[in-house]
Chains A and B, each alone.
Chain A
Amino acid sequence: MPEPILQIRNLKTYFYTYAGVVRALEGIDLDIYQGETLGLVGETGCGKSVTSLSIMRLVADPPGRIVDGQIIYKGEDLLKKSEAQMQQIRGNKITMVFQDPMTFLNPVITIGDQVSEVIAIHENLARDVVRSKIDECEETIKQLDSNSPDRERLMNRVKELEALKDNPPKYSRREMKKATLRRTIEVLKLVQMPSPEKVVKQYPHELSGGMRQRAIIAMALSCSPDLLIADEPTTSLDVTIQAQILALLSELKKKIGSSILIITHDMGIVAEICDRVSVMYAGNIIETAETKALFKNPLHPYTQGLLKAIPKLHRDVEELEIIPGSVPNLIYPPSGCRFHPRCPFRMDICDKENPPFIERERGHSVACYLYQEKK
Chain B
Amino acid sequence: MYELTALILLVVMGLALVRAFLGPTLYDRILAVNNFGTKTVLLIAILGFLGGRPDFLDIAIVYALINFISIIAVLRFFEYSSKRPMDEES
User: Are A and B a genuine interacting pair, yes or no?
Assistant: no
Binding site for B on A (CB under 8 A): none
Binding site for A on B (CB under 8 A): none
